[in-house]
Chain A
């Protein structure tokens, strides 16, 4: 079970409170987590990554275990602590005014 923390706007859009818990088949990677997230919450498609290229949106970052995973290849295995559910995978909106 993977725990995902979404930014407030995406929690509202998805209609969830707190963390999202996902079952991810196979090796957990950012791509696999986002695939599972979008399958469970289709309204999030296109809000975190492009729907065609699957590139991360420029103002979105991925953090876990105090590491910035934003620029890792999407098939890089996530840390064990994320894979076991001990730590969450964080989807973060870049800190910017507005």
Chain B
């Protein structure tokens, strides 16, 4: 029977949750790296026991950890993230120039084919790559040095590159998203980039339809249909059917179109999930009810999924990297909260139950489906 391994990053360490394919009894391992902020853990699709973790601290900076045995043991690898060439400035919150400074790794995206190749999205926004299992890191500077770079500005969490989507069909095509610059796409493996934000509209920036400057919270794709992208923006849920050339709003009947994560069902490319949050000023669910919303039509028509989720007095948030799906049938959906719960549904969202309830605030959730 298949197994599932859930990788959870929290404000105070990493946890590895495992179950068989029934997904009703879970073993919890951790905390790993107790006391450190774990922004993200992710496994190599090419070697499922090869895991990478971003470990950071305001005191001691960035550490990258690597495991070769599915998270049982770990070793620190390279943590030297040096921007390539002159860094210049981006905009600060008040619009004044601010020097580019490395703060942390937000997201690690291993190559689908090579366990030693992994991409890192960092704050201040840039994309790095390692081809030696994380021992050394090189920036792909064409992104940061895009002519718009000096106008990028941070979102509330920092100027982070938080999403990396490697197109499984078109070699060399990568989508990334930066808060608050927007989506960029490369078709030449990271040498050159162009903004992919046409159709986005954001209040709070001088030109609401500007080419760059949108606070994109998360983008997602289904591997079978990589030209279709879904986006949770600061406000608005969006969809692109042309690989980011243009976007249209699909918020439809959501109770709020503010939120952070968005993900796609493993087997149904038009089934997508979001977690509506009341507003950018109140980072908690509307009406104190934690509801995952599902659309089976690729947006616009949404249904609330509530069975097993707290429906009163709930004021947690679900951060941008804290939702994931497994590849079993039926598809499992996983959501981690800032209250330390990880909720799982083994039936595509119909019924939910907590795997764990008292972790530190959850920053990220990834899922592996294992033989």
Contacts and interface: CB of A to CB of B under 8 A. Distances in A.
B165 interface: no
Contacts of B76: 13, 43
Interface in B70-98: 76, 79-80, 82
Nearest to B11: A98
Nearest to A8: B35
Interface size class of A (residues with CB under 8 A): 20 to 34
B60 A48 contact: yes
B132 to A, nearest CB: 15
Nearest to A57: B61
Contacts, number: 46
Interface in A20-62: 43, 45-48, 51-52, 57, 59-60
A93 B63 contact: no
B361 to A, nearest CB: 12
Contact of A9 (B60, B62, B79): B60
Interface string A69-90: 0000000000000000000000
B62 A46 contact: yes
Interface size class of B (residues with CB under 8 A): 10 to 19
B279 to A, nearest CB: 26
Interface in B18-64: 34-36, 57-63
Chain B CB within 10 A, most for which of A8, A48, A51, A60: A51
Nearest to B80: A51
Contacts of A8: 35
Given A9-B35, A46-B79, A46-B80, A98 B58 contact: yes
B35 to A, nearest CB: 6
A94 interface: yes
A10 interface: yes
B80 A9 contact: no
Nearest to A94: B59
Interface of B: 34-36, 57-63, 76, 79-80, 82
Interface of A: 7-10, 12-13, 43, 45-48, 51-52, 57, 59-60, 93-94, 96, 98
Given A46-B79, A48-B60, 4 more contacts: A13-B60, A45-B79, A45-B80, A93-B60
